[in-house]
Every structure is written in structure tokens, then in C-alpha cells.
């Protein structure tokens, strides 16, 4: 049998916009689509918060399937299982039970989907379906128990620190005709107990550039020129890319996973491991990212450029009227474009994409893979698809796109990608090792 690594070369992947159909998808990809709907559309979780929920669902699914498959070490638990027990029932039950545990208000919708799915599964040999259900229940219970008291959704207010000095973060000025001002609704993510790394402190990034440095001036002048709402240097394609990647990051990348998972050579066990490794690494990337954001508390370009004459750097010229491309006047689908309500450094999308990309490279043993991605951020949606010949090409564009959108300094994007890579490589060395 050819290995996953041998089969990946030059395969084309087309991103599915929604939950995959039963006819095309195996249980892992199908229930990932249901989970994405519950997490993002149903619960309305913002990207950095959603990474935690995706990780819990996919980690439990892996343990359920792997208990039957038996070829890798478990993430948390290895419920008793036989090789003939239903992997499909185990997958569906693990995903369903974690989702209901996270979102009890969606019980009726999720239970209907689950009951319908389970009823359509074969029971051959007799009892295999019920055994799969029991395995999925055990895996989900282990995940929910392991994540109790992990710091998610704290009851108290987050202690934001708004600065006044050059380089110190403060909320962006009101944007657009209605005066929108964003504020992080899940700033607490940086204090959540990690899923993979033993201590979030090991993910501390290099600091932002000193505002009086030549490196800072280079970043400043780049985003000032390329990220302006009225930029004459940014191309039409760069404008499209900036808007494209402002779609919900974990959702975009889980669509990519579903497309990869629908290839004929991918087994349900391989998909369970792929989805778990990618989402667990991404959750820790988000945790590390948000820990760093409020540790460095560095200002955003809109503040820096408008106050550029007072930063002590002779190579930066301020513009009190500078406006980024990400402005509410730009027509898009969904939430208006705006400078995010959390510090610049490191960039969240860089952290998330860095983790996903490096997990994909490690899993498939290749960077050169052609795949096509779609986004629902454009108006009208979807955006024109974007095709990449390497996983790393997508990461590079995400780094560029945040500069083109006028919301990040390049150093923040690069440091985010480095953080994501660090988590992915730690996972590769310490988790999901073969049992043979």
C-alpha cells in the first residue's frame, strides 16, 4: 500500500465552502463540517476562541478512531475497542458529545443530525455500531473532563491595559461613518491552559521592533504605503487577497482539511489524525499568540501612523488622517472591516496559518501541493478562488495580506508564523507517535 506521503505529490485540492455531503465525505470530514457550523455559525465564536473548540472536537474524534485503529498513541484516552468496531459511529459520537457539551443550546439541532447519521450506519458485524458509540462517548468524556477549569470563558472582565506612550497599544480611533471601535471579545484566550506545549511561556516571541529603530521605520513605511485605503502602490490582486484572508481563519483552514481528507487515498484513521494534529496545534498557536499580544501590548498601524510625528523616529512621517484598507466603508460580506480590537504583535492569522501550514507539511512530508482555497468575505460571496502550488505559498500570502489590509506591521506577521511553526514542530516530536 502506498503511504500518505507518497500519494500527496501534485494533487489538486478544491476547498468546499460548507459541510461536505454524506456521499463524498467520510465520517471525520462530515462531522468536521457539522462542527464548524456549530462553532462558528451557531455559537458565533471569533477565530481565536474557535480554535479551542475545534481542538476539543477533533482531539476526541482522533482518540475514538485511534482506539479502534490502534496505530498511534492516543492524545488523551484509549477506550477499550476491537478492530471491527464502527469507526464511523465512534467519530460521530465523539464529535456530537463534545459539541453538545460545549453548546447545550444547540442540542436539538445536533441530536437530529446525530440520530439520522447513526441510524444510517450499517451494523456489521452485529454490535459494531453500538461499540463504536460507546468508544466515542468515552473519548468525548475524557476530553470534556480534561478541559474542565482550563481558563476558557472566564466570568470576570479582562484587565485591558491601554497605553498613551509611543508603541503602546490603545484602541483604534473610531472608523467609518458610524464610528466603529472594536474590542477583543475573547482576550482571555492567552490565559487558557495549552493543549500540546507544557507551558505557554515557551512560545514567547521576539519583541516588536523598537519604535526608534530602522527596522520599525521600514515596517512603518511599508504598511503606510501598501495598507492605506487609498494606496496607489497596492495592486488590485493584493487588495483582493487582503479581503479574502479576512474570512474566519480556522474555518478557512478546516475547509482545506476537508478537501484534503476527501481524496480517495485518505482513510478515516488518517483523517482523524490529520484533523486532530492541525487543530490541536492551532489552538496552542492561538493561546500563545494571545498571551504574547497582551504581553507586548504593541500599537496597531492606524495609531502608529496617525501619531508618527511623535514617536521619536526621524524616518517616520505621521499622517493624522491615515486610514487602512480595512475600513467599514469597504464593501464585504459579514462583519465590517475594521482594525481589530487587540494588540498588533504577533499577528493572529500568522499564528493560526503558521500552525496549519507546518502541520500539513509534516503530515504529508511535502510542501509542494497544489490546492485551491475559497473565502466568503467578498461581496458578493464567495471570493474568486485563490490557487497555491505550495503550502508555504499560502502562508507567505497571509503574511503579506495583513500588511496590505493595513492592520499589521510585517514583523508581527512573521513572528506569528514562527510561533505557529514552533507549536507544529513540538507536536510532531511529542505527540501522535506510531505504536509499532
Pick from 86, 117, 146: which residue ends a domain? 146
Q: Are residues 239 and 358 in the same domain?
A: yes
Question: In this predicted structure, what is the pLDDT of residue 322?
Answer: 98
Residue 146's CB is within 10 A of a number of other CB atoms, namely 17
178 found inside a domain: no
Same-domain check for residues 288 and 366? yes
User: How is residue 168 written as a grid cell?
Assistant: 503602546
Spell out the SS3 assignment of the chain. CCCHHHHCCCCEEECCCCCCCCCCCCHHHHHHHHHHHHHHHHCCCCHHHHHHHHHHHHHHHHHHHHHHHCCECCCCCCCCCCCCCCHHHHHHHHHHHHHHHHCHHHHHHHHHHHHHHHHCCCCCCCCHHHHHHHHHHHHHHHHHHHCCCCCCCCCCCCCCCCCCCCCECCCCCCECCCCECCCCCCHHHHHCCCCCCCCHHHHCCCCCCCCCCHHHHHHHHHHHHHCECCCCCCCHHHHHHHHHCCCCHHHHHHHHHHHHHCCCCCCHHHHHHHHHHHHHHHHHHHHHHHHHHHHHCECCHHHHHHCHHHCCCCCCCCCCCCCECCCCCCCCCCCCCCCCCCCCCCCHHHHHHHHHHHHHHHHHCCCCCEEEECCCCCCCCCCCCEEECCHHHHHHHHHHHHHHCCCCCHHHHHHHHHHHHHHHHHHHHHCCCECC
Please give the average per-residue pLDDT across 12-17, as a whole number: 32
- Residue 110: which domain range? 22-146
Residue 182: inside a domain, yes or no? no
115 and 213 housed in the same domain? no
Could you tell me the pTM of the whole model? 0.94
* 37's grid cell: 457550523
Residue 169 lies in a domain: no
Domain for residue 387, yes or no?
Answer: yes
In the predicted model, what is the mean pLDDT of residues 98-107? Answer: 98
Task: Kindly tell me the sign of the dihedral angle through the C-alpha atoms of 123, 128, 134, 138.
Answer: negative
Residue with cell 500552525: 355
86, pLDDT greater than 50: yes
In a domain, residue 165? The reply is no
Establish if 175 belongs to a structural domain.
no
Q: Same domain for 135 and 191?
A: no
Structural domain includes residue 414: yes
Q: Are residues 285 and 421 in the same domain?
A: yes
pLDDT tens digits along 191-200: 999 999 999 9
The pLDDT score that the predictor gives to residue 317 is 98
Grid-cell match 458610524, residue found: 178
Q: Residue 326: which of 185, 182, 162, 168 has the closest Cα?
A: 182
Q: Could you tell me the maximum CA-CA distance found in the chain, to the nearest angstrom?
A: 77
Instruction: Quick: pLDDT tens for 288-298.
Output: 999 999 999 99
Here the CATH number for the domain that contains residue 120 is 1.20.144.10
Look at the chain and report how many structural domains it folds into. 2
Predicted confidence (pLDDT) at residue 24 exceeds the cutoff of 80: no
Q: Say if residue 3's pLDDT is above 80.
A: no
Residue 9 lies in a domain: no
Find residue 13's DSSP bridge partners.
371
Name the pairing type of β-strands 386-388 and 12-14. unpaired
Instruction: Looking at the structure, tell me whether residues 401 and 282 fall in a common domain.
Output: yes
Burial of 14 (0-12, 13-18, 19+ CB in 10 A): middle
- Tens digit of pLDDT for each residue in 122-153? 999 999 999 999 999 999 999 999 999 999 99
Shared domain check, 140 and 199: no
pLDDT for 209-246, tens place per residue?
Answer: 999 999 999 999 999 999 999 999 999 999 999 999 99
| Cα–Cα distance measured from residue 257 to residue 274, given in angstroms and rounded to the nearest whole number | 8
* Mean pLDDT along residues 394-411: 98
Per residue in 256-274, pLDDT tens? 999 999 888 899 999 999 9
Is the domain of 221 the same as that of 357?
A: yes
| Same-domain check for residues 142 and 191 | no
* pLDDT of 9 above 50: no
**pLDDT, averaged across the chain:** 94
- β-pairing, 12-14 with 370-373? parallel
For the stretch 332-348, pLDDT in tens is: 999 999 999 999 999 99
* pLDDT tens per residue across span 298-317: 999 999 999 999 999 999 99
**pLDDT value, residue 179:** 95
Contacts of 136 (CB under 8 A, 6+ apart): 60, 64, 89, 90, 91, 92, 93, 94, 95, 96, 97
130, 211: one domain: no
Q: Which of 142, 147, 305, 134 is nearest to 229 (CA)?
A: 305
> Which residue is listed with cell 456530537?
96
Considering 146, 169, 196, which residue would you say is the last residue of a domain? 146
Q: Which residue has the cell 501590548?
A: 297
Cell of 129: 455500531
Query: Does residue 133 share a domain with residue 249?
Result: no
Final residue in a domain of this structure, among 115, 146, 177? 146
Q: ∠ CA 183-187-193 to the nearest 5 degrees?
A: 170
CA distance 423 to 418: 9
In this structure, what CATH number is given to the domain that contains residue 339? 1.10.606.10
Phi-psi region of 365 (alpha: psi -120 to 50; beta: other; left: phi over 0): left
Q: Is the pLDDT of residue 13 over 60?
A: no
The Cα 182–Cα 326 span in angstroms is: 12
- State whether 197 and 304 are in the same domain: yes
| Separation CA 101–CA 94 (nearest Å) | 11
Amino acid at each position: 500500500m502506498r503511504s500518505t506521503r507518497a500519494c500527496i505529490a501534485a494533487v489538486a485540492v478544491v476547498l468546499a465552502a460548507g459541510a461536505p455531503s454524506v456521499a463524498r465525505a467520510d465520517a471525520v470530514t462530515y462531522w468536521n463540517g457539522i462542527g464548524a457550523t456549530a462553532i462558528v455559525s451557531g455559537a458565533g465564536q471569533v477565530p481565536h476562541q474557535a480554535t479551542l473548540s475545534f481542538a476539543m472536537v477533533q482531539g476526541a474524534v482522533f482518540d475514538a478512531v485511534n482506539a479502534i485503529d490502534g496505530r498511534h498513541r492516543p492524545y488523551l484516552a484509549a477506550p477499550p475497542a476491537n478492530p471491527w468496531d464502527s469507526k464511523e459511529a465512534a467519530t460521530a459520537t465523539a464529535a456530537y458529545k463534545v459539541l453538545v457539551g460545549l453548546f447545550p443550546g444547540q442540542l436539538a439541532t445536533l441530536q437530529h443530525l446525530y440520530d439520522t447519521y447513526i441510524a444510517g450506519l450499517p451494523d456489521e458485524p452485529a454490535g459494531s455500531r453500538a461499540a463504536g458509540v460507546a468508544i466515542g462517548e468515552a473519548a468525548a468524556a475524557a476530553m470534556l473532563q480534561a478541559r474542565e477549569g482550563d481558563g476558557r470563558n472566564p466570568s470576570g472582565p479582562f484587565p485591558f491595559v491601554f497605553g498613551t506612550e509611543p508603541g503602546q497599544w490603545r484602541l483604534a480611533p473610531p472608523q467609518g461613518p458610524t464610528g466603529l471601535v472594536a474590542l477583543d471579545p475573547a482576550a482571555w484566550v492567552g490565559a487558557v491552559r495549552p493543549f500540546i506545549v507544557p507551558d505557554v511561556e515557551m512560545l514567547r516571541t521576539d519583541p516588536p521592533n523598537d519604535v526608534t529603530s530602522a527596522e520599525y521605520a521600514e515596517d512603518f513605511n511599508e504598511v503606510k504605503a501598501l495598507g492605506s485605503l487609498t494606496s496607489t502602490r497596492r495592486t488590485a490582486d493584493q487588495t483582493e487577497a487582503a479581503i479574502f484572508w479576512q474570512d474566519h481563519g480556522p474555518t478557512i483552514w478546516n475547509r482545506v482539511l476537508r478537501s484534503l481528507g476527501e481524496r480517495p487515498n485518505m482513510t478515516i484513521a488518517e483523517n482523524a489524525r490529520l484533523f486532530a494534529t492541525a487543530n490541536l496545534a492551532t489552538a496552542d498557536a492561538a493561546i500563545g499568540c494571545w498571551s504574547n499580544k497582551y504581553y507586548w501590548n504593541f500599537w496597531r498601524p492606524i495609531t502608529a501612523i496617525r501619531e508618527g510625528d511623535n514617536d521619536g523616529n526621524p524616518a517616520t512621517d505621521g499622517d493624522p488622517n491615515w486610514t487602512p484598507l480595512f475600513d467599514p466603508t469597504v464593501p464585504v460580506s459579514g462583519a465590517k472591516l475594521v482594525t481589530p480590537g487587540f494588540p498588533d504583535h504577533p499577528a493572529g492569522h500568522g499564528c493560526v496559518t503558521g500552525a496549519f501550514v507546518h502541520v500539513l507539511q509534516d503530515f504529508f512530508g511535502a510542501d509542494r501541493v497544489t490546492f485551491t482555497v475559497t473565502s466568503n468575505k467578498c461581496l458578493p460571496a464567495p471570493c474568486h478562488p485563490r490557487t497555491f502550488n505550495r503550502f508555504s505559498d499560502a502562508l507567505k500570502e497571509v503574511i503579506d495580506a495583513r500588511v496590505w489590509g493595513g492592520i499589521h506591521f510585517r514583523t508581527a506577521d512573521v513572528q506569528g508564523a514562527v510561533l505557529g511553526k514552533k507549536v507544529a514542530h513540538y507536536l510532531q516530536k511529542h505527540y501522535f507517535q506510531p505504536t509499532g
